[in-house]
Amino acid sequence: MDKEIIRLSIPNIISNITIPLLGMVDLALMGHMKGVIYLGAIALGGVIFNIIYWGFSFLRMSTSGFTAQAYGRNNQNESYLVLLRSVILALVIGLLILVLQVPIEWASFKLIGGSNEVEQLARQYFRIRIWAAPVSLALFSLSGWFLGMQNARYPMIIAISVNVVNIALSVFFVFGLNMKSEGVALGTVIAQYVGFIIAIFLLRKKYRYLFVKVYRKAIFDLKILKEFFRVNTDIFIRTFCIIAVFTFFTSKSASINDDILAINSLLIQLLLFFSFFIDGFAFAGEAMVGKFIGSKRISELKRLVKKLFLWGGGMAIIFTMGYWPGIKLILNILTNNKELILQSEPFLIWAIFIPLASFASFIWDGIYIGATASKAMRNTMLIAAFFVFTPVYFFMYKIIGNHALWLGMTLFMLSRGIIQTILYKSAILRKLV
């Protein structure tokens, strides 16, 4: 079983690790501009697209879980139907985003504050990057489907291709054409379309045998669609809570001053870097849990859960031990603003220890997604967001200032893991007996 975890985890880790590396490159490109407003613009623009794309990340999650369970049942026709439903929904949502981009922009900048200079640059970033919406969402569906089919290699190829193209174009536009935040956005848009073309090529190359004629009635089967949308709705609410927490974190950082916004934006990259890394094991959990549930191999499911936590806990220890001596080196890579690095010192301890507080929540997310236990995921996130993070911040901010944001974030991640541990038997195991 360890070999299977590693077989699925390593490509996922490689895929995921390119995502925060891209974010770090974007921040590094802007961090070497004169003034912190460019860092702030990328941070605010990034938050807006986190709201948009994280909000619809259920397309990847539900597709992965449903496909893995169909794979475990050896139901190839249903696997193909899951893909069709998910991609159709992704493209429809993406086109709606393009149609509604003006009100989305207005609402986004009403919600997320910043200085006038930062907001102006962030708007330029938004107006370019929004044009990648349809293919970005379709890539969620395709990557989730490949993973559900126990194929982690194709999402890795897609992710690496997208991010290599993105980084290369962003560097060219910023340093070659003297563009700023708009160059980073344009590089992202072009790279997303390249990734979509690659994904379709890979799909046709390996899975052409699944392309059989299907009837509209099968795609839009009301009973199956009801379950599909129920799970997606639960995951959407769960994801909305994450968006609310991270948006609040960035918005309150911006409301303090541009320096704190820049500091928190840099330090949160360390959490995101760890999260995408540990998600390699969580994604492996999605594929394997779904497969074991589909084939009703419950004893193997229980053993898998224990092994995933051993791997996840080990990675959390490694990251904390690496961050402790190396965090200032990382910050120096991200920015050459010495004053900003000096001001960040009181807050470094949060970034160093947050992997230990958060790893369980990521591992459990993969397990719950593979089991399509979406109701428990939703309820866990509601409790952690609105009964842990929110009161911690409001009660502590006047006492400890910016530390309250970091304390709230740490307890938010920790409480998610604790609650999901408590709910594991009732949400997953009892339904399988």
Structural element, H or E, at residue 40: helix 37-55
Q: What is the pLDDT of residue 413?
A: 94
The answer to whether 287 touches 64, Cβ cutoff 8 Å, is: yes
Res 308 pLDDT > 90: yes
**Nearest by Cα to 408 from 354, 369, 334, 339:** 354
pLDDT at 383 over 60: yes
> Residue 205 contacts by C-beta under 8 Å, 6 or more apart in sequence?
none
How does pLDDT run across 325-374, given as a tens digit for each residue?
887 777 777 776 777 777 777 888 888 898 999 999 999 999 999 888 88
Each residue's pLDDT tens digit, 225-264: 788 788 888 988 998 888 888 878 887 887 777 778 888 8
Q: Is the pLDDT of residue 270 over 90?
A: no
Mean pLDDT for the stretch of residues 181-189: 82
Predicted local confidence at residue 59, as pLDDT = 86
pTM of the predicted model as reported, rounded to 2 decimal places? 0.80
Phi-psi region of 372 (alpha: psi -120 to 50; beta: other; left: phi over 0): left
What are the tokens at 222?
A: 């009301």
> For 24-51, how does the pLDDT look when each residue is reduced to its tens digit (9 = 90+)?
666 666 665 655 676 667 777 777 777 7
Reduce the DSSP state of residue 72 to 3 states and report it.
helix
Residue with structure tokens 């992997």? 355
User: In terms of residues, how long is the chain?
Assistant: 433
Give the model's pLDDT for residue 343. Answer: 72
